Chain A
Amino acid sequence: MRQKVFFTIPYTLWILLFVIAPLVLIFYQSFFNIDGQATLGNYATYLTSRVYLKMTLNSVWYAFLITLVTLVISYPTAYVLNRLPNKQFWLLLVILPTWINLLLKTYAFIGLFSQTGTVNQFLRFVGLGSHQLLFTDASFMFVAAYIEIPFMVLPIFNSLAEINPSLINASKDLGASQWQTFTKVVWPLSLPGVKAGIQAVFIPSLSLFMITRLIGGNRVITLGTAIEEHFLTTQNWGMGSTIGVILILAMFIVMFITGEGRQKGGHRE
């Protein structure tokens, strides 16, 4: 019994210091204005200001687009990986980029996309001339999707791998074509993985700010950018915290939407 208590110490400390304390602090901060007076003004500002509303919609829209692009790329990837011999090895290659620091990867793309970068060199070489690639929505989406793909592939891959192969045989045996087997058996059984992937991609995408700045050139302003500005530039911690609270609420909403129906998941018996 004593030993059990002992082993829970690291976890409890972690939760207290890095989950509960920050949440409480953010919530607390959000009720103070820039002069340190207690107020509900931050929430009033957020809810009435068109700028913040637009920013929120922007964040949700871009997060949605990033998630969609990532899903469209990741699902077929995970599906194909599952059918390869040595699938664990190929999966490892997909996961490998996550071992490298996010900022490093982002800088690498600056090198690739800049006016004198590799991509433009190639375009000039094939006679298409150089283009403004960096600081466009397209490059922002591209890099964001690149970074998020492993987090989408992994849960989908796992849920596909868990599907009992005899279910596929059973479906064919009952007359279903390859496509019918996919839509009626494989897809519904892989939904838990898809939902987990959406959670893993959509929620962090809501608060992206590094990529919006370095690749998107601050043309794409999201809530993540706003929080960074408030904390580091305008020093309006109260307003930054308020947006933080809004983001946390958004995460809970997403988790609620994608979390239901879990218990009916496709685990084999």
Chain B
Amino acid sequence: MSNNIMEFRHVSQQFGDNVVLRDIDFEIEAGKFYTLLGPSGSGKTTILRLIAGFDQPTSGEIYFDGQQINDVPANRRQVNTVFQDYALFPHMNVAENVAFGLQIKGVKKSEIDQRVKEALHLVQLDGYGQREITAMSGGQRQRVAIARAIVNRPKLLLLDEALSALDHKLRVEMQTELRQLQRRLGITFIFVTHDQEEALAMSDQIMIINDGTIQQSGTPVDIYDEPLNHFVADFIGESNIVPGVMKADYLVTIDGQDFECVDAGMRPNERVEVVIRPEDLDITTVDQGKLTVTVDTQLFRGVDYQITAHDQRNHEWRINSIHKTTVGAQVGLAFDPEDIHVMRYNESEEDFDARLDSYEEDD
């Protein structure tokens, strides 16, 4: 409890009639890398603005280090932000930008110089201090923005879609760097993104936001392997989602065909949704497969082939396979009981966690 640096209690935000956040509750543990993941308009940036202090919540309380900070203005919070457009001051050079926060606090000139140098070193921009912002590339500006924030040694660093403006290669590089930087500094990071790959790659904890509520929070592996609902399963990674019926514990029926699975704790014959990730499906011969499908399309993506196929009931299946197949061919799909994940309709996150705990302990 004392380790929580940030806490939201029943926070709601409304702009006029437009409800942006509904009753948000979460705790942020110090020293971890958190990601708020959601589509645009989901409310994730609003959460960030509330943490930074640019907006005040309509209702609910925000705690920082045990103190209620609803009315503390942005300039008094020990939180720094890396903005989506970097928001570097165009009338200052790189070093002046980085020194800004320290100058405001009245830090001694010699110490400012030292800390600016260190910060620029951390983001691998040694010797760039005297450059004008306009002379820096996108990736370099990104680093200046990070340096400008971490030089203040905040307890919490917010990153608003901080990598979205970079090209793919640079983005992947920066993901690794950000993650390393976070570990080295031990600062709590809250990263906002709509890019699920980015979230999975960098975070200790992911919070999936949609429609102003937190859909699910957990580690990347938990969320990927055990999505709570249709939205999460669809949003994180690729997935095949088909309706099914839970016959009994560890037994699910899809279109009248029974499959062994590892899920339990549901009512008998409850209607459910079944998720199987495309990379968990293996293409095999018809008699060895658990399902028989006809291949519709095949795309070569470098690492693997993306295949779509349909079964006798016209359910579409996406398969990611490193082996080639033939369009039009009838093939079998093989998968293990662990590859099946069963989701109940309208299950809350608490119920979901409780149910998982109940039968996982039994094992």
Contact = CB atoms under 8 A, between A and B. Distances in A.
Interface in B204-247: none
A174 B91 CA distance: 16
Contacts of A196: none
Given A164-B85, A169-B83, A174-B100, A266 B90 contact: yes
A123 interface: no
Interface stretch (B10-18, B72-80, B316-324): B72-80
Interface string B5-28: 000000000000000000000000
Interface of A: 164, 166-167, 169-177, 180, 184-185, 188-189, 264-269
Interface residues of B, number: 26
B75 A269 contact: no
Contact of A172 (B54, B84, B90): B54
Contacts of A166: 83-85, 87
Contacts of A266: 90-91
Nearest to B54: A169
Closest 8 CB pairs of A and B: A174-B101, A170-B87, A166-B87, A172-B74, A175-B104, A172-B75, A173-B81, A188-B91
A170 B85 CA distance: 11
A173 B148 CA distance: 11
B101 to A, nearest CB: 4
Nearest to B90: A266
B89 interface: yes
Nearest to B78: A175
Contact of B89 (A172, A175, A185, A267): A185
A166 B75 CA distance: 14
A164 B91 contact: no
A174 B88 CA distance: 12
Nearest to B99: A174
Q: Output the residue of B87, B132, B134 with the most chain A CB within 10 A.
A: B87
A175 B52 CA distance: 11
Given A175-B105, A176-B75, A180-B104, A169 B87 contact: yes
Contacts of A171: 89, 100
